[in-house]
């Protein structure tokens, strides 16, 4: 049993952060409407077929070399010679006819359990019993194995754009795309190549120093610095219990709002989240006087990257929750994100990752007992916007209606909001600690009402 893949530092960090309460797995919930000719026993037949699929391909057949010590210094991924498909693929059912609320409760519970590191760290649950013959697939996978961007790409490949294609292999049974010839070349680098690498590293260091000087020196007042976030009820130690809620918007509506104020689609996402959080915290009499800040992951993976592991940067932005007027709140958010993205312009991928790591350095304090809730957090909430499939996708002839992401709450950061685009929609997944963020589903409702209010004020 040989080593197949070493962990990069960010992958290792996700394993080191794993605990009973702070579970570092991400997930996806996909809802499907039945094909016109669907057989009542389709899911049972599908499960029987999957059980016969004994072979899995990377990254889905990889497990930790040292499962008892996930953060071991020489940790690595190795192939699992005893891959057991029945352990990873599971079948669940809601009381018929199940609704979205009952589905959310079930997925919340499934997302509240740690993954077993003695096996490849992922599970897929086929869920039946939804109204109108619909079914769902919930997948969870440890963030050290794949990041959110890679996960979406790998899952999308196991679906089809053709509703008549009924034999598409399930995601774990698809062979990975072949890497470009020479990708594994062991040819020693030339002296010129080594000197170029040194120059790039030196340039990265200068860029990082300049960027940090700008942020910490507050030369640009729209820039958000680490530890500038206020203390809030969102930034306490968490329990292992999760709550999950969803919301779906037409992209056209959000683009119209963004265009009306010179912002981007991502700015509109932040506006809805900030507005929902402002209302939610006011109801609890817990709104800080200072604005909440968000950490926004930035994908820096090359277009032809085969995936696996993590390649993300990060920026910080205000949610302007201290601003009562919706239009002024939106303008403040636009200015903040514009300044943050300008910081990354001209940086190499290596420099962006190093700069992002420095911005996130205060996170290392959050797992220390007694720290969460007592010091200023590095930020208040993570909000990710991940590009997803642009066309309708089908699984064995069943059309996917929605694609909702589930991410990671952790000590000191009890709420995580992730957005995935699908066709002409944006699908919001709100995941949080059930105990620290009670009535989390209200955030989904308030985000919808925030869009309606903004559209009304902008006369759209």
Nearest to 95 by CA among 128, 48, 139: 128
Q: Is residue 182 part of a domain?
A: no
**Lookup: tokens for 22:** 């702070």
CATH number at residue 249: 3.30.559.30
Residue 173 near residue 56, CB atoms below 8 Å: yes
Q: In this structure, are 323 and 214 located in the same domain? A: yes
| Residues 297-324 pLDDT 10s | 876 554 444 444 455 677 889 999 999 9
Q: In this structure, are 250 and 140 located in the same domain? A: no
Of 145, 173, 201, the one marking the end of a domain is: 173
Query: With the C-alpha atoms ordered 283, 447, 30, 131, is the resulting torsion angle positive or negative?
Result: positive
Sheet of 135-142: strand order equals 89-98, 122-130, 135-142, 25-33, 398-406, 394-395
Q: How far apart are the first and last CA of the chain?
A: 61
Q: In this structure, are 29 and 140 located in the same domain? A: yes
Distance of CA 206 to the CA centre of its chain: 30
Q: In this structure, are 213 and 74 located in the same domain? A: no
**Residue 355 belongs to what domain range?**
192-458
Q: In this structure, are 43 and 164 located in the same domain? A: yes
The set of residues, in sequence order, having a beta carbon less than 8 Å from that of 151 and lying 6+ positions away, is: 26, 28, 139, 141
Report CA-CA distances (Å) from 217 to 207, 211, 214: 15, 10, 5
The set of residues, in sequence order, having a beta carbon less than 8 Å from that of 191 and lying 6+ positions away, is: none
Q: How many folded domains does the chain comprise? A: 2
Residue 404 near residue 29, CB atoms below 8 Å: yes
Q: In this structure, are 87 and 209 located in the same domain? A: no
Radius of gyration of the chain (CA): 22
pLDDT of residue 8: 80
| Residues 38-55 pLDDT 10s | 666 777 787 777 777 768
Nearest-angstrom CA–CA distance, 214 and 352: 15
pLDDT of residue 330: 94
Q: Is residue 390 part of a domain?
A: yes
Task: Count CB neighbours of 148 within 10 A.
Answer: 24
CATH number at residue 149: 3.30.559.10
Q: Is residue 158 part of a domain?
A: yes
Q: Which of 88, 111, 143, 411 is catalytic?
A: 143
pLDDT of residue 364: 60
Nearest-angstrom CA–CA distance, 298 and 204: 17
Residue 444 near residue 246, CB atoms below 8 Å: yes
Q: Is residue 160 part of a domain?
A: yes
pLDDT of residue 188: 47
Q: Is residue 140 part of a domain?
A: yes
* 408 Rama class: left (phi>0) / alpha (psi -120 to 50) / beta: beta
Q: Is residue 242 part of a domain?
A: yes
pLDDT of residue 360: 63
Q: In this structure, are 245 and 338 located in the same domain? A: yes
Nearest-angstrom CA–CA distance, 146 and 51: 24
Q: In this structure, are 390 and 362 located in the same domain? A: yes
Q: In this structure, are 110 and 80 located in the same domain? A: yes
Of 141, 173, 205, the one marking the end of a domain is: 173
143 is catalytic: yes
Residue 64 near residue 117, CB atoms below 8 Å: yes
Of 139, 173, 207, the one marking the end of a domain is: 173
Backbone angles phi, psi at 366, to 5 degrees: -60, -35
Instruction: Give every residue of the chain whose pLDDT is below 70, as ranges.
Output: 1-3, 37-40, 54, 148-149, 178-222, 225-227, 299-312, 346, 349, 353-374
- Entry pTM: 0.84
Q: In this structure, are 141 and 224 located in the same domain? A: no
Q: In this structure, are 35 and 152 located in the same domain? A: yes
């Amino acid at each position: 049993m040989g080593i197949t893949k070493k962990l990069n530092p960010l992958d290792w960090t996700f394993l080191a952060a794993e605990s009973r309460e702070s579970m570092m797995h991400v997930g996806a919930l996909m809802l499907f409407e039945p094909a016109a000719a669907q057989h009542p026993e389709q899911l049972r037949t599908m499960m029987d077929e999957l059980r016969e699929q004994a072979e899995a391909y990377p990254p889905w057949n990889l497990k930790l070399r040292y499962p008892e010590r996930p953060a071991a210094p020489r940790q690595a991924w190795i192939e699992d010679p005893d891959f057991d498909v029945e352990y990873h693929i599971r079948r669940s059912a809601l009381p018929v006819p199940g609704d979205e609320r009952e589905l959310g409760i079930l997925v919340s519970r499934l997302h509240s359990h740690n993954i077993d590191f003695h096996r490849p760290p992922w599970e897929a649950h086929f869920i039946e019993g939804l109204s109108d013959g619909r079914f769902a697939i919930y997948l969870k996978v440890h963030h050290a194995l794949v990041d959110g961007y890679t996960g979406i790409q790998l899952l999308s490949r196991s679906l089809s754009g053709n509703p008549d294609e009924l034999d598409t292999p399930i995601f774990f049974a698809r062979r990975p795309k072949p890497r470009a010839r020479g990708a594994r070349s062991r040819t020693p680098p030339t002296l010129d190549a080594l000197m170029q690498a040194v120059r790039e590293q030196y340039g990265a260091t200068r860029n990082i120093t300049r960027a940090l000087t700008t942020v910490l020196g507050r030369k640009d007042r729209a820039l958000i610095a680490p530890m500038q976030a206020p203390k809030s009820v969102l930034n306490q130690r968490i329990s292992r219990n999760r709550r999950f809620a969803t919301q779906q918007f037409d992209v056209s509506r959000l683009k119209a709002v963004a265009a009306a104020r010179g912002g981007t689609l991502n700015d509109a996402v932040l506006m809805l989240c900030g507005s929902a959080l402002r209302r939610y915290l006011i109801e609890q009499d817990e709104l800080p006087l200072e604005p909440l800040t968000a950490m926004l992951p930035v994908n820096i993976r090359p277009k032809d990257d085969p995936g696996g592991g993590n390649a993300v940067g990060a920026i910080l932005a205000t949610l302007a929750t201290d601003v009562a007027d919706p239009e002024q709140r939106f303008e403040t958010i636009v200015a903040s994100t514009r300044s943050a993205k300008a910081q990354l312009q001209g940086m190499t991928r290596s420099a962006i990752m190093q700069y992002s790591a420095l911005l996130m350095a205060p996170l290392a304090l959050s797992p220390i007992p007694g720290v969460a809730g007592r010091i200023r957090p590095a930020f208040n909430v993570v909000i990710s916007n991940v590009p997803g499939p642009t066309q309708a996708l089908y699984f064995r002839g069943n059309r996917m209606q929605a694609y909702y992401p589930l991410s990671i709450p952790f000590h000191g950061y009890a709420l995580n909001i992730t957005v995935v685009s699908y066709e002409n929609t944006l699908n919001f997944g709100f995941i949080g600690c059930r105990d620290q963020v009670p009535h989390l589903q209200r955030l989904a409702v308030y985000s919808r009402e925030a869009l309606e209010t903004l559209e009304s004020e902008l006369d759209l």
